[in-house]
Amino acid sequence: MRRFRITPALLALILIVPACRSSTQTSTPARRAPTTAAVIPLTAPKAAEITVEQLELLLPRRPIVVGFDVDDTLIFSAPAFNALQPEFDADVIRPKVYAALTPTQKLKYHEFWNRLNSEYDDRSVPKQIGKRLLDLHLARGDDVWIHL
């Protein structure tokens, strides 16, 4: 009788190779366990609204980092945009590709956004919920970031 020394590598080979299947072999279908549970149809997830007071209770006690976008999160900016928009070509102020604009169009693009930000701020309306959320996070000592 001939003896073989089984090394760790040979042992691994003996254990792994039988477990591997070629890509041409088909796997057996998974068997379903019998159940009497009713089938629950999948539905789209729904986000529930909560109050600022409920949010305050859900937040951790330690300060957190929170960020807000100014446009349409903290302020309703559409009135300012809509007031200035008729003076400019829509394809220039909202180009599909900025690089495709001519030098003159780029000047008009920057003129629109500079005027909107400097002359039309008074037409943007602060959102009450945005103010309440800011007040909440500032009172907690959270690190608040605002994206302009």
Rg of the chain (C-alpha set): 31
pLDDT per residue over 98-118, tens digit each? Answer: 999 999 999 999 999 999 988
| Contact yes or no for 101/92 (Cβ under 8 A) | yes
- Residue-level pLDDT at 40: 73
Active-site entry in 69, 72, 89, 121: 69
| CA gap 38, 88 in Å, rounded | 60
A 10 A CB-CB count for 124 gives 20
Identify the segments of the chain with pLDDT beneath 70.
Answer: 1-37
121 is catalytic: no
- What confidence score (pLDDT) does residue 1 get? 42
Task: Give the per-residue pLDDT at 82.
Answer: 92
pLDDT at site 11: 44
pLDDT of residue 29: 55
Indicate the residue type of 146: I
- pTM, two decimals, is 0.54
Residue 71 annotated among the catalytic residues of the structure: yes
- What pLDDT is stored for residue 28 in this prediction? 52
